[in-house]
Structure 1
Protein backbone atom coordinates (compact mmCIF):
# COMPACT_ATOMS: atom_id res chain seq x y z
CA UNK A 1 0.00 0.00 0.00
CA UNK A 2 1.24 3.44 -0.79
CA UNK A 3 2.51 5.42 2.20
CA UNK A 4 0.38 8.42 1.20
CA UNK A 5 -2.84 6.43 1.35
CA UNK A 6 -2.20 4.38 4.49
CA UNK A 7 -2.65 7.20 7.03
CA UNK A 8 -5.90 8.28 5.37
CA UNK A 9 -7.19 4.72 5.45
CA UNK A 10 -6.20 4.32 9.09
CA UNK A 11 -8.11 7.39 10.25
CA UNK A 12 -11.07 6.83 7.92
CA UNK A 13 -11.39 3.34 9.41
CA UNK A 14 -11.24 4.81 12.93
CA UNK A 15 -13.98 7.27 11.96
CA UNK A 16 -16.03 4.44 10.47
CA UNK A 17 -15.80 2.44 13.71
CA UNK A 18 -16.88 5.47 15.75
CA UNK A 19 -19.83 6.14 13.42
CA UNK A 20 -20.91 2.47 13.71
CA UNK A 21 -21.32 2.62 17.48
CA UNK A 22 -24.64 1.57 18.97
CA UNK A 23 -24.96 4.96 20.68
CA UNK A 24 -24.64 6.84 17.35
CA UNK A 25 -28.03 8.39 16.71
CA UNK A 26 -29.44 10.50 13.89
CA UNK A 27 -29.87 13.52 16.19
CA UNK A 28 -26.10 13.62 16.78
CA UNK A 29 -25.54 14.38 13.10
CA UNK A 30 -26.65 18.00 13.54
CA UNK A 31 -24.53 18.65 16.65
CA UNK A 32 -21.85 21.36 16.37
CA UNK A 33 -19.05 22.62 18.57
CA UNK A 34 -19.95 26.25 17.77
CA UNK A 35 -22.82 27.79 15.80
CA UNK A 36 -20.55 28.85 12.92
CA UNK A 37 -18.85 25.45 12.51
CA UNK A 38 -19.92 22.46 10.42
CA UNK A 39 -22.21 19.93 12.15
CA UNK A 40 -21.04 16.36 12.72
CA UNK A 41 -22.39 15.01 9.44
CA UNK A 42 -20.49 17.66 7.46
CA UNK A 43 -17.28 17.11 9.44
CA UNK A 44 -17.38 13.38 8.62
CA UNK A 45 -18.29 13.96 4.98
CA UNK A 46 -15.60 16.62 4.60
CA UNK A 47 -12.95 14.31 6.08
CA UNK A 48 -13.90 11.66 3.52
CA UNK A 49 -13.92 14.20 0.69
CA UNK A 50 -10.54 15.65 1.74
CA UNK A 51 -8.93 12.23 1.62
CA UNK A 52 -10.09 11.98 -1.99
CA UNK A 53 -9.23 15.61 -2.79
CA UNK A 54 -5.70 14.85 -1.63
CA UNK A 55 -5.07 11.40 -3.06
CA UNK A 56 -6.80 11.71 -6.43
CA UNK A 57 -4.64 14.63 -7.68
CA UNK A 58 -1.49 13.01 -6.30
CA UNK A 59 -2.33 9.88 -8.30
CA UNK A 60 -3.27 12.04 -11.31
CA UNK A 61 -6.89 10.90 -11.09
CA UNK A 62 -10.11 12.88 -11.38
CA UNK A 63 -11.35 13.82 -7.91
CA UNK A 64 -14.33 11.68 -7.02
CA UNK A 65 -16.82 12.15 -4.17
CA UNK A 66 -19.16 9.66 -2.55
CA UNK A 67 -21.35 12.13 -0.62
CA UNK A 68 -24.98 11.09 -0.47
CA UNK A 69 -27.82 13.56 -1.17
CA UNK A 70 -29.52 12.98 2.17
CA UNK A 71 -28.01 13.07 5.64
CA UNK A 72 -28.26 9.92 7.75
CA UNK A 73 -25.96 7.71 9.74
CA UNK A 74 -26.34 4.92 7.17
CA UNK A 75 -25.47 7.28 4.29
CA UNK A 76 -22.37 8.53 6.12
CA UNK A 77 -21.31 4.94 6.76
CA UNK A 78 -21.74 4.17 3.05
CA UNK A 79 -19.77 7.30 2.11
CA UNK A 80 -16.91 6.30 4.40
CA UNK A 81 -16.99 2.72 3.17
CA UNK A 82 -16.97 3.76 -0.51
CA UNK A 83 -14.11 6.19 0.13
CA UNK A 84 -12.07 3.51 1.92
CA UNK A 85 -12.66 1.02 -0.91
CA UNK A 86 -11.70 3.56 -3.57
CA UNK A 87 -8.49 4.58 -1.81
CA UNK A 88 -7.58 0.95 -1.16
CA UNK A 89 -7.73 0.29 -4.90
CA UNK A 90 -5.35 3.10 -5.92
CA UNK A 91 -2.29 1.14 -6.97
CA UNK A 92 -0.03 3.17 -9.24
CA UNK A 93 2.89 5.06 -7.75
CA UNK A 94 1.82 8.69 -7.39
CA UNK A 95 5.37 9.96 -7.71
CA UNK A 96 5.60 8.59 -11.26
CA UNK A 97 2.58 10.40 -12.69
CA UNK A 98 2.19 13.28 -10.28
CA UNK A 99 1.42 16.70 -11.75
CA UNK A 100 3.94 19.53 -11.30
CA UNK A 101 1.42 21.50 -9.23
CA UNK A 102 -2.03 21.12 -7.75
CA UNK A 103 -4.58 23.92 -7.87
CA UNK A 104 -7.35 23.86 -5.27
CA UNK A 105 -9.88 25.99 -3.44
CA UNK A 106 -9.71 26.46 0.33
CA UNK A 107 -12.78 28.31 1.51
CA UNK A 108 -12.98 31.24 -0.90
CA UNK A 109 -9.26 31.27 -1.73
CA UNK A 110 -7.62 29.70 -4.78
CA UNK A 111 -4.17 28.18 -4.34
CA UNK A 112 -1.57 26.32 -6.35
CA UNK A 113 1.10 24.26 -4.58
CA UNK A 114 3.70 21.67 -5.45
CA UNK A 115 2.36 18.17 -4.66
CA UNK A 116 4.48 17.62 -1.53
CA UNK A 117 3.49 21.02 -0.10
CA UNK A 118 -0.14 20.39 -1.02
CA UNK A 119 -0.04 17.15 0.96
CA UNK A 120 1.98 18.41 3.94
CA UNK A 121 0.52 21.87 4.44
CA UNK A 122 -3.04 21.61 3.17
CA UNK A 123 -4.58 18.18 2.56
CA UNK A 124 -3.27 16.11 5.50
CA UNK A 125 -3.72 18.81 8.20
CA UNK A 126 -7.23 19.65 6.97
CA UNK A 127 -8.20 15.99 6.87
CA UNK A 128 -7.06 15.56 10.48
CA UNK A 129 -8.83 18.77 11.48
CA UNK A 130 -12.20 17.45 10.29
CA UNK A 131 -11.62 14.02 11.86
CA UNK A 132 -10.74 15.78 15.13
CA UNK A 133 -13.81 18.00 14.96
CA UNK A 134 -16.06 14.96 14.46
CA UNK A 135 -14.45 13.31 17.49
CA UNK A 136 -14.77 16.51 19.55
CA UNK A 137 -18.45 16.93 18.67
CA UNK A 138 -19.21 13.38 19.78
CA UNK A 139 -17.22 13.75 23.02
CA UNK A 140 -18.99 17.04 23.74
CA UNK A 141 -22.32 15.30 23.08
CA UNK A 142 -21.43 12.77 25.79
CA UNK A 143 -20.30 9.72 23.83
CA UNK A 144 -17.75 7.83 25.91
CA UNK A 145 -14.87 7.94 23.41
CA UNK A 146 -11.20 7.73 24.28
CA UNK A 147 -8.08 8.87 22.48
CA UNK A 148 -7.78 5.24 21.38
CA UNK A 149 -11.09 5.54 19.55
CA UNK A 150 -9.59 8.43 17.61
CA UNK A 151 -6.12 7.10 16.84
CA UNK A 152 -6.48 3.32 17.26
CA UNK A 153 -3.33 3.10 19.38
CA UNK A 154 -4.01 4.37 22.90
CA UNK A 155 -5.54 1.98 25.43
CA UNK A 156 -6.85 2.86 28.89
CA UNK A 157 -8.50 0.71 31.56
CA UNK A 158 -12.27 0.97 31.97
CA UNK A 159 -13.26 4.02 34.00
CA UNK A 160 -9.84 5.68 33.67
CA UNK A 161 -9.69 9.46 33.61
CA UNK A 162 -6.84 11.90 33.89
CA UNK A 163 -6.61 13.76 37.21
CA UNK A 164 -7.78 17.36 37.21
Structure 2
Protein backbone atom coordinates (compact mmCIF):
# COMPACT_ATOMS: atom_id res chain seq x y z
CA UNK A 1 0.00 0.00 0.00
CA UNK A 2 1.35 3.41 -0.94
CA UNK A 3 0.95 6.55 1.13
CA UNK A 4 -1.32 9.11 -0.51
CA UNK A 5 0.47 12.16 -1.85
CA UNK A 6 -0.06 15.73 -0.73
CA UNK A 7 -1.88 16.26 -4.04
CA UNK A 8 -4.24 13.38 -3.23
CA UNK A 9 -5.01 14.83 0.19
CA UNK A 10 -5.68 18.34 -1.05
CA UNK A 11 -7.02 18.40 -4.59
CA UNK A 12 -9.75 15.72 -4.44
CA UNK A 13 -10.87 17.12 -1.07
CA UNK A 14 -11.11 20.65 -2.45
CA UNK A 15 -12.92 19.42 -5.56
CA UNK A 16 -15.50 17.55 -3.54
CA UNK A 17 -16.12 20.15 -0.86
CA UNK A 18 -16.08 23.21 -3.13
CA UNK A 19 -18.31 21.34 -5.57
CA UNK A 20 -20.69 20.61 -2.70
CA UNK A 21 -20.52 24.25 -1.64
CA UNK A 22 -21.47 25.33 -5.15
CA UNK A 23 -24.46 22.99 -5.00
CA UNK A 24 -25.43 24.44 -1.61
CA UNK A 25 -25.41 27.89 -3.19
CA UNK A 26 -27.74 26.59 -5.93
CA UNK A 27 -30.10 25.37 -3.22
CA UNK A 28 -29.86 28.75 -1.48
CA UNK A 29 -30.84 30.55 -4.69
CA UNK A 30 -33.76 28.16 -5.23
CA UNK A 31 -34.86 28.66 -1.62
CA UNK A 32 -34.83 32.45 -1.98
CA UNK A 33 -36.80 32.21 -5.22
CA UNK A 34 -39.37 29.83 -3.70
CA UNK A 35 -39.81 32.04 -0.63
CA UNK A 36 -39.77 35.20 -2.77
CA UNK A 37 -36.94 37.08 -1.11
CA UNK A 38 -33.74 38.59 -2.43
CA UNK A 39 -30.96 35.96 -2.27
CA UNK A 40 -28.54 38.79 -1.43
CA UNK A 41 -30.04 38.61 2.07
CA UNK A 42 -28.35 35.23 2.53
CA UNK A 43 -24.96 36.61 1.48
CA UNK A 44 -24.82 38.92 4.49
CA UNK A 45 -26.04 36.31 6.99
CA UNK A 46 -23.87 35.73 10.06
CA UNK A 47 -24.08 33.26 12.93
CA UNK A 48 -22.74 35.86 15.37
CA UNK A 49 -22.09 39.59 15.06
CA UNK A 50 -18.31 39.13 15.11
CA UNK A 51 -18.23 36.37 12.46
CA UNK A 52 -17.77 36.84 8.74
CA UNK A 53 -20.91 36.69 6.56
CA UNK A 54 -21.62 33.94 4.06
CA UNK A 55 -19.86 35.73 1.19
CA UNK A 56 -16.60 35.93 3.12
CA UNK A 57 -16.87 32.30 4.27
CA UNK A 58 -17.00 31.18 0.62
CA UNK A 59 -14.14 33.49 -0.35
CA UNK A 60 -11.90 32.21 2.44
CA UNK A 61 -12.70 28.56 1.65
CA UNK A 62 -11.65 29.22 -1.95
CA UNK A 63 -8.55 31.13 -0.90
CA UNK A 64 -7.53 28.32 1.46
CA UNK A 65 -7.69 25.74 -1.30
CA UNK A 66 -5.98 27.84 -3.97
CA UNK A 67 -3.30 29.13 -1.60
CA UNK A 68 -2.48 25.64 -0.39
CA UNK A 69 -2.31 24.26 -3.92
CA UNK A 70 0.01 27.08 -4.94
CA UNK A 71 2.29 26.90 -1.90
CA UNK A 72 2.58 23.12 -1.97
CA UNK A 73 3.23 22.93 -5.72
CA UNK A 74 5.48 25.97 -6.06
CA UNK A 75 2.94 27.73 -8.31
CA UNK A 76 1.93 31.37 -8.20
CA UNK A 77 -1.64 31.71 -6.89
CA UNK A 78 -3.99 33.75 -9.03
CA UNK A 79 -5.42 36.91 -7.53
CA UNK A 80 -9.15 36.76 -6.88
CA UNK A 81 -10.27 40.13 -5.50
CA UNK A 82 -13.06 39.87 -2.92
CA UNK A 83 -15.79 41.56 -4.98
CA UNK A 84 -18.52 38.93 -5.19
CA UNK A 85 -21.98 40.34 -4.51
CA UNK A 86 -24.27 37.59 -5.86
CA UNK A 87 -24.64 33.85 -5.58
CA UNK A 88 -23.68 33.54 -9.26
CA UNK A 89 -20.46 35.46 -8.59
CA UNK A 90 -19.62 33.22 -5.62
CA UNK A 91 -20.21 30.16 -7.79
CA UNK A 92 -17.90 31.68 -10.42
CA UNK A 93 -15.21 32.15 -7.77
CA UNK A 94 -15.53 28.51 -6.76
CA UNK A 95 -15.23 27.50 -10.43
CA UNK A 96 -12.12 29.70 -10.91
CA UNK A 97 -10.57 28.17 -7.81
CA UNK A 98 -11.23 24.64 -9.02
CA UNK A 99 -9.90 25.49 -12.48
CA UNK A 100 -6.66 26.69 -10.89
CA UNK A 101 -6.07 23.80 -8.52
CA UNK A 102 -6.97 21.26 -11.20
CA UNK A 103 -4.54 22.88 -13.65
CA UNK A 104 -1.54 22.06 -11.46
CA UNK A 105 0.42 18.97 -12.44
CA UNK A 106 0.15 16.46 -9.57
CA UNK A 107 3.91 15.86 -9.86
CA UNK A 108 4.48 19.48 -8.77
CA UNK A 109 3.36 18.42 -5.27
CA UNK A 110 6.07 15.75 -5.01
CA UNK A 111 8.30 16.35 -2.00
CA UNK A 112 6.08 19.10 -0.64
CA UNK A 113 5.70 17.29 2.70
CA UNK A 114 9.05 18.78 3.73
CA UNK A 115 8.79 22.06 1.80
CA UNK A 116 9.11 25.04 4.16
CA UNK A 117 5.96 27.14 4.15
CA UNK A 118 5.81 30.65 5.59
CA UNK A 119 2.55 32.54 5.99
CA UNK A 120 2.60 36.23 6.73
CA UNK A 121 -0.26 37.46 8.85
CA UNK A 122 -0.84 41.05 9.95
CA UNK A 123 0.72 40.28 13.34
CA UNK A 124 3.37 37.60 12.66
CA UNK A 125 4.84 34.95 10.43
CA UNK A 126 3.84 31.31 10.71
CA UNK A 127 6.35 28.64 9.72
CA UNK A 128 5.42 25.08 8.76
CA UNK A 129 6.66 22.05 6.92
CA UNK A 130 4.38 21.26 3.99
CA UNK A 131 2.79 18.34 5.82
CA UNK A 132 2.15 20.32 9.00
CA UNK A 133 0.77 23.20 6.93
CA UNK A 134 -1.69 20.94 5.10
CA UNK A 135 -2.67 18.78 8.06
CA UNK A 136 -2.70 21.33 10.86
CA UNK A 137 -3.63 24.57 9.12
CA UNK A 138 -5.11 24.28 5.64
CA UNK A 139 -7.56 21.42 6.02
CA UNK A 140 -8.98 22.54 9.39
CA UNK A 141 -9.32 26.12 8.13
CA UNK A 142 -10.86 24.97 4.84
CA UNK A 143 -13.42 22.73 6.56
CA UNK A 144 -14.22 25.45 9.12
CA UNK A 145 -15.25 27.91 6.41
CA UNK A 146 -17.15 25.36 4.30
CA UNK A 147 -18.95 24.14 7.43
CA UNK A 148 -19.77 27.69 8.50
CA UNK A 149 -21.19 28.45 5.05
CA UNK A 150 -23.36 25.32 5.33
CA UNK A 151 -24.49 26.32 8.84
CA UNK A 152 -25.39 29.84 7.71
CA UNK A 153 -27.58 28.51 4.92
CA UNK A 154 -29.20 25.89 7.15
CA UNK A 155 -29.80 28.45 9.91
CA UNK A 156 -31.52 30.69 7.36
CA UNK A 157 -34.00 28.03 6.32
CA UNK A 158 -32.36 26.51 3.25
CA UNK A 159 -33.50 22.89 3.21
CA UNK A 160 -30.15 21.13 3.27
CA UNK A 161 -28.79 18.31 5.36
CA UNK A 162 -25.65 16.40 6.15
CA UNK A 163 -25.63 14.58 2.81
CA UNK A 164 -25.69 17.94 1.02
CA UNK A 165 -22.56 18.92 2.95
CA UNK A 166 -20.82 15.59 2.37
CA UNK A 167 -22.01 15.11 -1.19
CA UNK A 168 -22.64 11.81 -2.81
CA UNK A 169 -19.60 9.58 -3.41
Partner of 1:90: 104
Partner of 2:51: 37
CA RMSD of aligned residues (A): 2.1
- The 3-state SS of whatever aligns with 2:144 is helix
TM-score (norm 1): 0.85
Q: Contact conserved, 1:57 with 1:99, CA < 8 A, in 2? A: no
Report how far residue 40 of structure 1 moved.
0.3
Q: Contact conserved, 2:43 with 2:55, CA < 8 A, in 1? A: yes
Partner of 1:161: none
Instruction: After TM superposition, list the pairs within 5 Å mapping 1:105-124 onto structure 2.
Output: 105=120, 108-124=123-139
Unpaired segments of 5 or more residues in structure 1? 155-164
Unpaired segments of 5 or more residues in structure 2? 33-38
Q: Contact conserved, 1:98 with 1:115, CA < 8 A, in 2? A: yes
Change (3 A) 1:134 1:56: same
Report how far residue 70 of structure 1 moved.
4.1
The alignment status of 1:147 with 2:155, answered yes or no, reads no
Report how far residue 66 of structure 1 moved.
2.8
Higher helix share: 2
Q: Which moved more, 1:59-68 or 1:25-34?
A: 59-68
Partner of 1:14: 20
Q: Contact conserved, 2:117 with 2:130, CA < 8 A, in 1? A: yes
Q: How many residues align?
A: 154
- The 3-state SS of whatever aligns with 1:112 is strand
TM-score (norm 2): 0.83
